Amino acid sequence: MDQIKKGWINQRFPEFSLTNEDGNTISNTSLIGKWSVIFFYPKDNSPGCTIQAATFAKYHESFTALNCQVIGISSEGEESHKEFQCDHQLPYSLLSDKKAALHRTMELGKTLGWIPKRVTFVVDEMGFIRYIFNSQFAVKKHVSKVLAFLKTKSNNSQIE
> What residues are annotated to the active site?
49
The DSSP-derived string for the chain is -HHHHHHHTTSBPPP-EEE-TTS-EEEGGGGTTSEEEEEE-S-TT-HHHHHHHHHHHHTHHHHHHTTEEEEEEESS-HHHHHHHHHHTT--SEEEE-TT-HHHHHTT--EETTTEEP-EEEEE-TTSBEEEEEE-SS-TTHHHHHHHHHHHHT-SS-EE-
Angstrom distance (rounded) from CA 102 to CA 75: 10
